[in-house]
């Protein structure tokens, strides 16, 4: 037997009638109207990382072409700090009207929330997925002087030393840190994590030989690899990278079942009308299909995906759960950086 649905204010059975139907039609019309007139003023695309970061490199070409398509400025606003939390909060608290958007790497919405003691938003509730910008794996790079030319040699070297090997990351809880934690657990290797306040200082120390290896984004580190300042041992995605066809995956190199990958996406505040989200998604997907944009992504070692909002939302939830468990099981705590 189905119980009557109660009205939240009167706590009396709520029966559909003319007023209810009129209200429903008004809501639908409002959503459709918002999309029809959208946008009629500048849009702000906020990101929690500095100019030159991977998400910045990807978001700017999209913002430029959205401006051209909409006939309205799409202003990139870098609000760096707190591993993306500052930017995320700005968007979470913004009006849900499609004029304030977030460009973010997966880690800031799927792993960082598990490390913050008091997060000023709910990562799963306070954002609406708009479009996925990229999909990518990391590369495991070592100092060329390290006597390990393959992943198996690296693992053997780590386990031969009393304190293992050191690896750097852009901060505790970053995707690069968690890639190392997953390597340690699945590969049963002895490692010591060295967190930095951002990736570049870690790369500098790696090239100087002060740490042994790093997981990092190929998009950023490719020039150092080409120059011979760093050596690639493996890639973390499920398949080999087109830019590095001779470099094995972690699974091929000796860690069965290993896969660590990330993505970048565009999000809107929770409650943004579905029609507005659809309008944005349609344009972003079109832009990602442009030959010049595909060339930019290829140069950065990024895969292009034109996922619909629902698919991106599912991926975000899956990664949120996976990395939450990894962080809890490993006992990872924020370092306050």
Q: What is the domain-level CATH number for residue 175?
A: 3.40.190.10
Which pLDDT does position 227 carry in this prediction?
Answer: 95
Domain presence at residue 82 = yes
- CA dist., res. 177 & res. 45, Å (int): 27
Residue-wise pLDDT tens digits, 168-213: 998 888 889 999 999 999 999 999 999 998 888 999 999 999 999 9
Backbone CA torsion sign across 109, 110, 115, 119: positive
Do 131 and 149 lie in a common domain?
no
Do 142 and 129 lie in a common domain?
no
DSSP H helical segments within the chain, as ranges?
A: 18-36, 54-70, 85-92, 106-110, 151-160, 175-187, 199-207, 218-226, 250-253, 274-288, 291-299, 309-330
The residue from 220, 253, 286 where one domain ends is: 253
Do 226 and 284 lie in a common domain?
no
Domain presence at residue 9 = no
Q: Which of 27-41, 108-122, 154-168, 225-239 has the lowest mean pLDDT?
A: 27-41
Do 97 and 169 lie in a common domain?
no
State the total domains in the chain: 2
65: CATH = 3.40.190.150
Do 123 and 265 lie in a common domain?
yes
pTM here is: 0.80
Residue-wise pLDDT tens digits, 77-113: 999 888 789 999 999 999 999 999 999 999 899 998 9
Domain presence at residue 10 = no
The tokens of 155 are what? Answer: 């693992």
The residue from 222, 253, 284 where one domain ends is: 253
Domain range for 191 is 137-253
Mean of pLDDT values over 12-24: 42
């Amino acid at each position: 037997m189905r119980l009557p649905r109660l009205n939240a204010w009167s706590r009396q059975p709520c029966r559909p009638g003319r007023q209810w139907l009129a209200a429903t039609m008004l809501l639908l019309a409002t959503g459709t109207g918002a999309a029809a007139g959208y946008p009629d003023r500048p849009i702000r695309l906020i990101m929690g990382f500095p100019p030159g970061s991977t998400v910045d490199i990807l978001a700017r070409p999209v913002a430029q072409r959205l401006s051209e398509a909409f006939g309205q400025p799409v202003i990139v606003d870098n609000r760096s700090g707190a591993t993306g939390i500052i930017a995320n909060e700005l968007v979470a608290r913004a009006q849900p009207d499609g004029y304030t958007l977030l460009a973010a790497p997966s880690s800031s919405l799927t792993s960082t929330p598990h490390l913050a003691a008091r997060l000023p938003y709910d990562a799963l509730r306070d954002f609406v997925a708009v479009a996925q910008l990229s999909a990518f794996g990391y590369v495991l790079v070592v100092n060329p002087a390290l006597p390990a030319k393959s992943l198996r040699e690296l693992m053997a070297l780590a386990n031969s030393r009393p304190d293992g090997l050191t690896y750097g990351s852009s901060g505790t809880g970053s995707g690069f840190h968690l890639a190392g934690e997953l390597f340690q657990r699945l590969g049963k290797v002895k490692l010591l994590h060295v967190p930095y306040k951002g990736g570049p200082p870690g790369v500098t120390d790696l090239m100087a030989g002060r740490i042994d290896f790093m997981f990092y984004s190929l998009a950023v580190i490719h020039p150092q690899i080409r120059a011979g300042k760093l050596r690639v041992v493996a890639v973390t995605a499920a398949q080999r990278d087109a830019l590095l066809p001779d470099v094995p995956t972690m699974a091929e190199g000796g860690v069965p079942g290993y896969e660590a990958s990330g993505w970048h996406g565009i999000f809107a505040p929770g409650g943004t009308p579905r029609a507005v989200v659809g309008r944005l998604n349609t344009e972003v997907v079109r832009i990602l299909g442009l030959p010049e944009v595909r060339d930019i992504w290829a140069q950065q070692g990024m895969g292009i995906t034109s996922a619909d909002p629902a698919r991106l939302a599912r991926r975000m939830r899956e990664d949120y759960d996976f990395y939450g468990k990894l962080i809890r099981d490993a006992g990872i705590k924020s370092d306050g950086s």
